[in-house]
Structure 1
């Protein structure tokens, strides 16, 4: 019989990640430069600790355990460092996408733009918000690097994991650029799939798993096997994210369903809708999708077109196929029952989530 991992176990792991993040950020307080306003520091403390699924730390932790290493504080610290890098990515992504909400609260650039406006400071509030948020994201990236290196593992082990960490960072930046290019490109399904693999899939699942395994000294066979599991699962994660961005409940997702539609975000779902649309649907897609003035009624019409073309059903099928491919790849890897159960549970969580 396959062992199961109770949700309480995942909750306890998340609590441990949060405790380490809180402790790390608390240690940064005394080192904050004299004379520098503490608004940035305080805002980042709130942003990092205000929620999140902690998926990247979870995958990193279970990559470590997949390599046969035991539980301990160093891997919890190293895994939690990935959440600081995730904070960097979210802050910058919200700037690029023009998203004003994150986790049910104002995004970081919106927070500082509103502060500027309320304070009646000189200059452009929007520019101030963007520029301050860029600095906040940069600081999170630097802190992530620091926390990872200070995790408490021997230097040789840290260096093994850091090689994968560095690769992940490069892929994320390249993926963000590909996302920008795809927004002015052909808008094809193939282009959108390339973006999600580079920008989100590997950064969410594959690389965190491989970072944990590399820290534990895993050989190339296990590293490759975790990639066979992680790549399709990461794709499915982002496909689900794109569905939630249009059809999700804002009270649950913490983001407006108008953001992706107003931005004209070149998702796989929208590429499928365009490719299957008839003439009248194509005209309306061109008029509504990417319109910064899109209202709630227009969003309803867009959602109806997406469903009428069959694009949403095809995305759901793609998610199922990729989840099955991931779990099938995992079945071929010799793993402790507890690790296998945890990874199967995470696969269900990332593909069936509502936020």
Structure 2
């Protein structure tokens, strides 16, 4: 019985295989979230630091540094006040309503100030920004209103959850905006609860006792004022875009219209609690960029959102990874087959 003798692959072939494996590894690296580098400094409206009043609304001035700024990039950074737990970061699989909770607000630029959107410079979503822009050096600044130490949010099942910041650690949360996960721009900065006004309402506050937004079960929308939101993560041509609205006139019929009539849904009857939910199919040939969904009725609500291209949803890197790995495997199979053929030919020649 002859011993098995392995024939080494030609150096050029080995180099090609190694290059394919390195290329695949590099692509995998592109999909790995960067380590968080963003930092937020906080000061309150009384000249102090990261402290909010337990009873009255507090306006915080926030300054960010070390954030990633992408010229012309889609989205930017959402700025919230809330609480986090465990592996809360979206880049690590964290989910809102499970791993982090924040004060709800509408996504419109003229919301109540409980949430802010800081956009990338030149972003297609810049028109919706109410917190300014991220400068090229990764800095930004904005203000945020905190309605007090207690607020309501909604968990993953749609149930209302009250968060008490005297019992759990609350603070400023930053995450990637408009469905774009960005580990570099994820941060949590703790905020303490205290007595900033000595038990007295601030003199310049028209409504001294903070009215934290009230959310409704199942939708999690703010029910104190009329507002509409859309599922921004689904804003891709050819997909179904869902929307929710609250604060409407119960029983009225409304129609949702995309831009100037590119698509429509309805009429839909508003529920007895002033809520309405629906869905609209985005045309397959819808141009990427900012679009507007309008809701007819007495309130005349509208919301602007960014539509990204079909290959701009995070699938492309994984597709490239699959192609690279597949090409490497195919090349390896061919080279091994060639080596076996050479080995067989040499055996025949020796015989």
Same fold (TM over 0.5): no
Greater fraction helix: 1
Rg larger in structure: 2
Q: TM-score normalised to the size of structure 1?
A: 0.26
Q: TM-score normalised to the size of structure 2?
A: 0.26
Greater fraction strand: 2
Higher relative contact order (CA 8 A, sep 6+): 1
